[in-house]
Structure 1
Amino acid sequence: MYFLAFMITFSLAGFATAASPTWSTYQPGTFSSVDIRINEEIGEGSAATISLPVPLFPREEKKGPQWGGHFACHDANFTGACHYYVEKRGACHEYEKENWEKYTSIGPDKGQWCYFYEGEQCLGDHVELRHPGSRNLRRKRFDNRVKSWNCWKDE
Structure 2
Amino acid sequence: MGSILRIAALLCLALPISAVPFDQQIITRPNDGSQRIKNIMTPEASHGGLYLCSGAGFVGHCEYYRTAFGSCITITDQFPTGQGGVNGVNAAGADRGSWCTLYANSNCQGSELQVHYPGYDDLRKVQWRAKARSYNCAAE
Q: TM-score range by the shorter chain?
A: 0.5 to 0.7
Partners of 1:29 and 1:70 within 8 A in 2: no
Aligned identity (percent) is: 24
SS at match of 1:138: helix
Corresponding residue for residue 144 of structure 1 = 130
Matched, 1:68 2:63: no
Amino acid paired to 2:63? H
Moved over 6 A (4+): 4-7
TM-score (norm 1): 0.61
Q: How many residue pairs get matched? A: 110
Corresponding residue for residue 40 of structure 1 = none
Specify which structure has the bigger relative contact order, considering alpha-carbon pairs within 8 angstroms and separated by 6 or more residues. Answer: 2
TM-score (norm 2): 0.67
If each structure's helix is expressed as a fraction of its own residues, which one has the higher value? 2
Partners of 2:76 and 2:134 within 8 A in 1: no
Structure 2 unpaired stretches of 5+: 1-24, 82-87
Partner of residue 80 from structure 1, selected from 41, 60, 73:
60
Amino acid paired to 2:72? C
Partners of 1:75 and 1:104 within 8 A in 2: yes
Change (3 A) 1:143 1:4: closer
